Amino acid sequence: MTSPEKIDIGSLAGAALVYKDVASLDPVQEQIRILHLDPGWGSTPISCTIHRISLTSDPPPKYEALSYTWGDPKVTREIIVNGYLVNVTFNLYSALYRLRQPEDMRVLWVDALCINQTDVDERGQQVGLMGKIYSICDNTVIWIGEPPVDTWPAHWFGDERDHPSLRWLGDEFVYYSTLQEPVDPASVDIVFHVFANLRLIQDSHLSEQPLFKDLTGEAFAYPPDYNYYCSMMAQALAPFADSPWWTRIWTVQECILPQRATFIYGPVSIELPFMLQVFSALSGHMLDCCSTTGAQTHPELMPHLRKLGLAMRPIDELRSGRREGPEVSLWTALSFTRSRFATDDRDRVFGVLGLVNSWMREPIVPNYRTKTEEIYTLATIDEALSTNSLLPLHFPLQKDAHPDVPSWVIDWTAGSNVSLRLNVYQWSQTHYLQFYVSHKQPAHVVALDNNRVLEVKGRRCDRVALVGPPCKHGRAEEKRKVYCEWFKLFELDRNPSRAYKTGEPYLDAFWKCLCWDLVLSVDGSAEKAHFRRSKGTTDSYEAFVAFAPISPYSVFHPEGLSPEVREAAVRFDPRFDIRQPAETREHTPKTFITEQLIGGITLNTVMFMTESGYLGLGPAETQVGDEVWCLFGSWMPFVLRSTGKTREVIIGEEEKPLYSVLGICYVHGAMDGEVADDDNLPTETVYLA
């Protein structure tokens, strides 16, 4: 028997040979290619054939879709495709090796093999079908990788079908307590223990679970002790939590769109609802009833749980949006996936198009001949015009790989390089929507000069007169130092109770700037957190008072403000006294949440004062002389800077002065339409470049 001919499927000549019998794909019939994975086991070569099907056929075609990450293109293995020997990445090889069945053929859709990667136009056309490919498949098989130790096959569902496995876990702990000799760790199926313990999170408080609390006692023992047990589980969970699958842009829609999605971790299968329910419950416990127990989670285990929790949240939100409403817009999909990576920057947008089920205008069509800058600009314009608002300008506008996009356009490549806290707090539109600075003034949004300039209208609020140092990433003491400098720069150390523009004490304006006068609440189900205004209540002040005496981030920390300055604040409110009894200074969930809220909102910001005496929190790049504007159609004020340049943005008209957008800001006392409704201020047309 002759050996198969070896070819390079990534070359034009090699692709022509592999796809010669299924070369053309009819877009009208929505044709795709699928893989017939031949049965096999052990060392027998992996072989498959490629076939052509139509997504519009009746009944729909039967196949599974593979969701995975390509891996290092330089690390490859050989498989047989249509009779030819081709190289695929090791990660794809591992997935196919694990997924093939001993006796039956398996039908899969695999992007690397079912799309001719050498044909740019086909790539764009097939990417446009991705949403349907994953929506109608029988199951998406999510390849996470192999666990670090051997484990028995298991299937986790997230419902009552898991109960026999949970009983088995309980029996194991009882069995360990009967042994006279220490348990050999190698005899423990620790991967089984990992997922069994995760499953328990759905059913009880953390303090009642062996993963979070040392429950050693009569008829209960760990193999061999609690700390070692947690360390073993951390090592078994690490490859699962650290898998690059959680960081790639394409994988989000690949698990959300199908009716069923299953994670494959070696011989272990985990249904998507299992993961969603576990980490939704864990988040609720951590934020509310079990925050103290959660904070004491084993230090080797906690990073993996946190990483998975952060990765599951956008999947949960987007999945709920598509199935239960509200509908998912392009901007919603982009903002929830901003921290994920893509090899091709255009895929930051193309990779979420399948999630979008609400287009107010013509949908964006994937085209790999279009420049990245154009795609990002179109995404911003689409959202602004679709919502008739300036909402897309509210998100962080820092530039990364594409500094030449207009200042009002988000460079989506920057999203994966910012901290998790910035992602959670400054990318969550729910807290922007607590305000409506433009009140009843209708939005005016016009794209000009080949989409390089945005014409908007608004009223100039004020000009920046004084700016504090920026609050950047750093440890608690570094942030506390910045807060203290802000406190002293605006002379709160001299007289914190002096009257602000609104009539309230200046200290009130200061702490309201730090948290935007918001509180972060957990709803009755203890599963989700949301922002709400504190206006008209003392909620945010009570949260600040709980935070101020004990948090290492607080200006009232012993190593923060001087004792003399703290005394002035204590006269304002005795609860700021760090010398109060220890039992009144407990680190409660409210304290933790306030600490997170202030830390998140102030990251990459400066505190500033305007010429008329407004106190505000704005972008870190803010300088003296920058202007604060109420732009119609916005929820927050903006800091704008004159570029000193003019341009003919409308053919035949005189050149217009151009402004760059630094970002949104919080201005205490000007967040509820005070400027927008002031008819003494002229309405001006502004050209943003």
Q: pLDDT tens digit string along 35-81?
A: 999 999 999 999 999 999 999 999 999 999 999 999 999 999 999 99
Per-residue pLDDT of 399-428, as tens digits, reads 878 888 999 999 998 765 554 444 455 556
pLDDT in tens, 549-559: 888 889 988 88
pLDDT in tens, 261-313: 999 999 999 999 999 999 999 988 887 788 778 878 999 999 999 999 999 99
Give the dihedral of Cα atoms 436, 438, 444, 448; nearest 10 deg.
-90
Residues 322-367 have pLDDT tens digits of 888 778 889 889 988 988 999 999 999 999 999 998 887 788 999 9
Q: Where residue 523 falls among pLDDT bands split at 50, 70, 90?
A: low
- Residue 281's φ and ψ, nearest 5 degrees, are -65, -40
Residue pLDDT, tens place only, 228-271 = 999 999 999 999 999 999 999 999 999 999 999 999 999 999 99
Q: What pLDDT was estimated at residue 453? A: 97
Dihedral angle at the C-alpha atoms of 218, 222, 226, 228, nearest 10 degrees?
160
Position 676 confidence tier, pLDDT thresholds 50, 70, 90: very high
Residues listed for the chain: 689
pLDDT above 70 (res 529): no
Q: HSE of 498 in the Cβ direction (CA atoms, 13 Å)?
A: 8
Spatial CA neighbour of 675 closest among 481, 434, 435: 435
Answer whether 36's CB lies under 8 Å from 105's CB.
Answer: yes
Confidence of residue 526 (pLDDT cuts 50, 70, 90): very low
List, as own/partner pairs, every contact residues 355-363 make where C-beta atoms lie below 8 angstroms and the sequence separation is at least 24, other chains included.
Answer: 355/131, 355/252, 355/253, 355/256, 355/257, 355/318, 355/322, 355/328, 356/328, 356/329, 356/330, 357/322, 357/327, 357/328, 358/327, 358/328, 358/329, 359/330, 359/386, 360/385, 360/386, 360/387, 361/385, 361/386
Domain boundaries along the sequence of the chain: 5-137, 154-323, 435-471+604-689, 474-602
Q: Let me know the angle formed at the C-alpha of 384 by 381 and 387, rounded to the nearest 5 degrees.
A: 140
Q: What is the pLDDT at residue 422?
A: 47
